[in-house]
Amino acid sequence: MSRFESSKQRTVRIPLDYYKRLDRLTRWGLILSGVAVVAAIWWASGLGWDVRNWSRWSERSRSLATHGAVTRVHASWDNQCEACHVPFTPIGQNKWTASFVGGSAQSDAKCQSCHAGPRHHADQNPEDKDALIACAGCHHDHRGRDASLVRIAENHCTQCHSDLTAGHVKPGYTPEVAVKVTRFDADPEHHPEFRASRERDPGRLKFNHARHMIKGIASPDGGSVWTHDQFAAPADKKRYQNYADAVSKEITLDCAACHRLDAEEPGTAPAISHGSPERPGPVRAAGRLYLPVTFENACRACHTLDFDPASPDLVMDHRIQPGAVHKALWRIYAEEYVTQNPALLDRYDPAMKTWKVPGRVESDEEKKARAAVERKVRNAEKILFGAKKCGECHEYESEGQVVTQIDLDDGKPEEVKVRSVNIPEVWFFHSEFDHSAHRAVDCKQCHERAYPDAANSSTSSQDVLLPSIKICTECHAPRGRGSAARTVVGGASFDCTECHRYHNGDAPLQGLGASANNPESAMTIRQFLLGNPSAPQ
């Protein structure tokens, strides 16, 4: 026998069909794979979660298909997928999918059954693909209970606002806002300077902040000051007690003396633009806007509208025109005269300003009474319409022309009007700012020009004393290192939605749902919880 095996001899010992047989490792691999597939099907169907409660099979299986928990405000519809979703329709449709599968009216209708979502701007180009984005294209749910639905990524905004002229507005329309905005910083190539800080105040009120914040509210010549003792009403003395110097009693005002946030002291109701201390407006919740500065709340204590040195308690109402003032004065002094002369009482007609009885010539006594009343009325009008009362703060107009004073000799004060103060309700019309969130910061940090000791202190009532964008970017910017004096800068949010709204953005004083306060049909509580307006009641 040969000492060495040949190749043929060696191959005889190896079964030629070995690859057709399952070894132990392969056999167990197949078994385990099968078990895994069955377990996966069992798990996906929801049967493996609670085999004793088959009624919850649909709920279990549906929860497996979700991307995650819905936000807290939508938690009531955790198991009502149909409240928001339409089968085989992409709820988060964007302009790319819209070009293939059409619009998303059904999905948007689901959202709008609860949420009123007016258009971003009336002059959007309706044919712009970017305007076809569905509600869920920006508002992403299923990101956890604490996720925000309104903190939108900047790219949703800049896809249009990086160049509004690229077909995003109606042909022929010139945007009122900057046409190129890419991000928020002080670089004008990225974000423009605030419009309000570049404009002049359109208001017609003769008022200067620095003048009112000087110690003693001193007159320009320094000759007169205002002290705490000059306040007549006990309520005014109490209110301005903390503004008085301990020794001289001179009053030094600050911003809070006139500007008040919506939240006031417990139990009080601040006057709003049409109110007064006697007829206050409703108490408003702590909010982002300061209350309108009104004569009753901020001016009356110092600028009283008294008009008779012999009767200092007589005070004229504010917000009435010269013609109404004339009638009010005539009534006051006529009633005073007939009280002192009772014989004329039965012949006095306050509505007609006369003692004349129809069919009879006015007597000498009545003429004397008329002259006495007219004399007092004229003296009171000289005081009220003079430079120390109405004319100190207001302008007049007659026949469309601005006049510096009222000519009382023509006997027609009713033809003269006090011009509207025309003060804007808000200055940042296309954005929003929450003062209550910034109340810990000294007012001077943003409104330095209002202070008399500022290097660039304002002396004109036409100055708009709002900060520049550079002030905002000290906080609202990426966190980093600044100058030696300020080692850390930024850190606060600076995305678009920090200051801007999308829906109804041009109506800062109007609620988002104001355009749908009265829906065509309202849901019952059951329909609302089911997310289905058509569900049986």
Residues 77 and 59 in one domain: no
Lowest model confidence (mean pLDDT) among 167-176, 221-230, 298-307, 315-324: 221-230
Q: Is the pLDDT of residue 182 over 70?
A: yes
Q: Is residue 346 part of a domain?
A: yes
Average the pLDDT over 464-490 and give the result. 79
pLDDT in tens, 497-509: 999 888 766 665 6
Q: What is the pLDDT of residues 431-468, one digit of tens each?
A: 888 888 888 899 999 999 999 999 989 988 999 999 99
| Percent with pLDDT over 70 in the chain | 76
Report the interhelical angle of 24-45 vs 57-64 (nearest 10°).
110
15 vs 6, 18, 20, 318, 530, CA distance in Å? Answer: 17, 6, 10, 114, 68
Residues 24 and 91 in one domain: no
Co-location of 175 and 81 in the same domain: yes
Cα separation, 148 vs 160, in Å, equals 22
pLDDT of residue 365: 83
Please tell me the predicted confidence (pLDDT) of residue 74: 92
pLDDT of residue 206: 92
Does residue 285 have a pLDDT over 70? no
Task: Confirm whether 113 is domain-assigned.
Answer: yes
83 in the same domain as 160: yes
Whether the per-residue pLDDT at 284 is higher than 50: the answer is: no
Higher-pLDDT residue of 28 and 18 is 28
> For 89-103, what is the mean pLDDT?
55
H or E stretch at 108: helix 105-112
Residue 306 lies in a domain: no
Task: State the total domains in the chain.
Answer: 3
Residues 59 and 77 in one domain: no
Sorting pLDDT into bands at 50, 70 and 90, what band is 270? Answer: very low
Which pLDDT score is estimated for 61?
Answer: 53
Last residue of a domain, one of 393, 418, 443: 418
- pLDDT grade for 530, boundaries at 50, 70 and 90: confident
Q: Which of 354, 385, 418 is the last residue of a domain?
A: 418
DSSP class of 143: S
Q: Same structural domain for residues 132 and 52? A: no
| 314-359 pLDDT tens trace | 999 999 999 999 989 988 998 898 888 887 776 666 555 555 555 6
232 is a domain residue = no
Mean confidence (pLDDT) of the chain = 80
Q: What's the rounded Cα separation, in Å, for the pair 55 and 342?
A: 92
Asked if 24 and 113 sit in the same domain, the reply is: no
DSSP state of 194: P
Is residue 214 within 8 Å of residue 457, measured between CB atoms? no
- 38 lies in the same domain as 109: no
pLDDT at 299: 93
Q: Which of residues 263 and 11 earns the better pLDDT score?
A: 11
pLDDT score of 3 more than 50? yes
**pLDDT at residue 83, as a whole number:** 86
pTM higher than 0.85: no
Task: Give the range among 122-136, 250-264, 350-364 with minimum mean pLDDT.
Answer: 350-364
Whether residue 141 is found in the same domain as residue 60: no
Alpha-carbon gap, residue 526 to 535, rounded angstroms: 8
Let me know whether 78 and 39 are in one domain. Answer: no
Retrieve residue 172's tokens.
């022929």
Side-chain-side CA neighbours of 531 within 13 Å: the count stands at 19
In a domain, 219, yes or no: no
Same domain? For 95 and 46 the reply is no
Q: Within a domain: residue 252?
A: no
Considering the domain architecture, whether residues 84 and 135 belong to the same structural domain is answered as yes
Last residue of a domain, one of 388, 418, 448: 418
Does the structure show a pLDDT above 60 at 386? Answer: yes
Query: Domain containing 27: what range?
Result: 19-64
- In degrees rounded to 5, what are phi and psi of residue 163? -165, 90
Note whether residue 313 is domain-resident: no
Residue 52 lies in a domain: yes
